[in-house]
Structure 1
Amino acid sequence: MLLQGNLKEFSLPNIFQLVKMSAKSGALTIRRDEAWGKIYFTNGLINYAFSVPQQLPLGERLVQAGLLKPAQLKQALSAQKKAGKEGPRIGTILLEKEFMARATLEEAVREQIQDAAFDFFSWADGEFSFSAEERPDDQDVLVEMNVENVIMEGCRRIDEWELIFEHLGSLERIPHLAYNEGVEDRGEVRLTPDEWRVVVHIDGRADINTILRDCGLDRFHGAKVIYSLFSSGLVTVSEPVIDGIAKGVSVCVRGPIDFYNEVFLTTLTDSNVTKQLRVELIDEKEVEVPIVAGTLTTVEGESEDADELVATAEVLVYTSVGTVSEAAWARVARDASAFVVLVNANDADSLRAGRRDVDFVKKSDGLPFVVATYTSMAEDAVEPDAVRKALGVDHGVPVHVCSLRDRTSVIGVVRAAVDLARGA
């Protein structure tokens, strides 16, 4: 049976029904950009599935769920490697060693199938193809699931996901642990293992996207846990700091070393930073861009009495961390009012490495920028003119010597950038 195409023209439930009606065996491969996965059928029934990169391998999934000890998984994987390609797979080894009951393992496989199907059901487009008689290479404990049940569960999860969005709003919002009278009236609060996995990542700084990435649960179940905590009054959510971009003065920090960029933000805000995963649509692809952001209160003016402040304003200062493309950086920086370019001044080579960041800033609609030099090994600061020459910038660009762990020094750099943005 030749079955291939795009989900825009042929929906996943229709594909499932077609495979069922023809009672075919094989693998349905679904791919969208870097994300992909497979759903395996035997005589029209679904017996295994996985998706990448959303899901953990089955063994790690069992460990995360508390159904298998890490040492047991390590022992089983070692036995599988020793047995070679012709030996038993991980499922059979777990059963032979009596690490878990067959019913428990089969239920975990069913849950993985549902999670993979839910991932694919949420796709508006993607290429698919069916390979007859293909079977999973690394799994030998399979189940049988009726396609109608999988479709119904997938649709139910989509409805539940919409409800979660309706109440939590954007996944870029920030969860906070809360305590109110309703919680007090209930007395002792008992959390489930999954709730603990989420709660330990709620620090008032990480957004929901970041917590879902780090908690070890799949996105759907992780979001359900946060929604449950929110509904019970144990968690509140606030708007992300990053929403302040384009609503006032914002300063984008860029430098060649993520660690030092983040140290700059941490020092500036006295460790009160927010970490977010911002999703940008670039070349029709959804790209996750990690953001670290914080705010600084600045004085907008003074009264006749120099000691009396007239007004203050919140300035958003942010940077991106991790492996981020220039296109993603351009999206993140497009609404900035000014830039701070951090340059390592240990030696001439380190200085020249800052040219890439300066060139990026120069292409950003002529926005003003400040160069801040720091040293991680050298003791002597480099003269501003030598810095300008190494970076290829003119004499009008301010160059500041910055101590990354001195808050006064860091604040001085940001205020210089703010002054440029305000035309001071």
Structure 2
Amino acid sequence: MALQGSLSELSLPDVIQMVSVSGKTGVFEVKRSGEVGKIYLSDGQIVDALVGALRGDNAVYEMAIWSEGEFSFVPGEQTDNVTIHLSNANLMMEAARRLDEWRVLSRKIPSLDLVPFFTSRDQSDQVTLSPHEWILVTRIDDEHTIEGIADTLHWSAFDVSKLLFGMITSGLVALRSAAEGSSETTKGQGPGPVTLIGLASRIRAVALNVIGDSGENTIDKQFAGARNLIEQGAGIEAIRTMVEQHSKAITLLKGSDIAAMFDEQVQPLLGIADGAPVAVMNNQGGTNS
């Protein structure tokens, strides 16, 4: 008979630890709100795990923070895949650490089914964001839930929540329930002009670094055009257009290999996750999903 229970009564790390000590082979199946994850054990050692787009260690860590759902252990079911090489002790130690951290994050992010949106804070305030935070910013659209954004980016919901926690604390982002629906005052809002111009300046610096003195005037002209559009309220679309212009200019002056180098360096700043050239991504409608 399969071992089964509720995650609201027992944490997944505790249950896995109990089963692994017995040296069993089998699979944990974990279900929550339509999501299904699996964790495989071989002679008590965790060897593989998957949930959504995540596999291996990160899949275990993702399921470890689930506080709701059902689990069951089916003995005897095996897998040929070995994606986890950490010992059970180290794996569960990290899972427990993340669970503790999640308890802190959940004070501001009580559910992964909430929808993040930009607040109406003073748009003249400059916000300094890391490359990963910029990737996340490009995905916040007042429509997708935290879980949905994580799936789109192929990131763990835990990692997305860690980044959101700082944005919520600073007042840049707030959360609403999916049932509330977006409002006209929040829909489509994004970082203010000062922050966007700061991002444009970083991209300009990357372009100048790869194109050299021969293209400085062209790059500066394109940057000035983007800055003017941002000041008129064009938003991040002005930056995407500038990046496309930079990429084309670099191709003409330095060749496609150097342009590809530029594209690769600016992709993290724009949230382009699949490695396609920037100009191609823009021609296909940008990075929105």
Normalized per residue, the structure richer in helix is: 2
**Under a length normalisation based on structure 1, what TM-score does the superposition of the two structures give?**
0.36
Q: Which has the larger radius of gyration?
A: 1
**Under a length normalisation based on structure 2, what TM-score does the superposition of the two structures give?**
0.49
